[in-house]
Structure 1
């Protein structure tokens, strides 16, 4: 009972703080019923469900470095979407709205936002003089796409002279670094989002990468420190060995197929 009561108090207090601090409500305009709905929902649904779900996550075993990431991925992909949807529907029902209205408002408030957050849209085929700018900001922009065009009109007196007849080196291709951390993140996506991410790099409708650089050993974002030879004094490299991250995450068959 104590375990369920504490989340209820926290939930009710959170709604009270929101109404007073952000919505600027006073005693006349304060929505006491709304606070009561949050209090009841936290006790009857949120606290029991989360308590049982956390016990399920604790059963996930494996590499200590991978377990936290695996738990987060499972939680955000399998549990959080359904859990949040049910909460929104229940809140509407507690407002004495019908189920159909509650379901419709849930889709308006949550479904559109959630599904759009999973989409990694392809930039498409750009024109010769077009570039696309993606912006995320504290003001609420999330990967906001803006198409810009080059202007032939002079905006400055500065001039850059390019000697097109002189070649200093040959360009083999364009690409990026693909670390184990990036591959682990992409692997946690749904199959559709994963394909969109790979296509955004390699497909004709994406960046059309032709090269990929693989780091030697671990990087600053790796889940652990490792190299090809972690044995001190092994100047003959007799203990040279690829790590699991090199085999599982840096050489991706899906990425190779996307290049073709």
Structure 2
């Protein structure tokens, strides 16, 4: 590479934020891609280790998957979605590692039922072990899917300036107040015009809403964060969290 071009690239790299570097990479800057991946190898290892619950070495398959997942995250990252690159990358890396672990668990969970053993007792034992292993695997899979949903939900809330802790702290204290807030959220989620306003402005069209509900403007403003959090939950693919909300709402 010519010295002048190299100096210009170095100057550009020093002045760009990580998100700005990603934009340059997505335009085809391979040198910058290699630099970013190399600089963030400790981050990748930390993300992989947090899922695997152990230290990750360069020669581990999980580390290679983490590198590829980080590269994928860089190429798919969209700054206007609200989350930072590192937050987005952490989700992508976690999903890829979880998929890898699940695949290995499936292979280990299935015993060899065709080993040539003719014993009925042996076959019954193998079938019992298979059923037990698959039940355990499914329980672990469901638990992980719930964790993944919470991560996704947290990222979705961030677009509206909310955190998961806000949802807990802003939840109305009285049951009837919670039910009213949830009913209002359902009404808003079913109104395309209001939803479009919320997604664009990142706030509720309170003036229009108060004309259609029995709640006062003051009550709507007080429960604003909780209502938005419920709308985000309804509008997303959060099956486990939605089921939990439905069970609470039906009580």
* TM-score, structure 1 normalization: 0.30
Higher strand share: 1
Higher helix share: 2
The higher radius of gyration belongs to 1
* TM-score, structure 2 normalization: 0.31
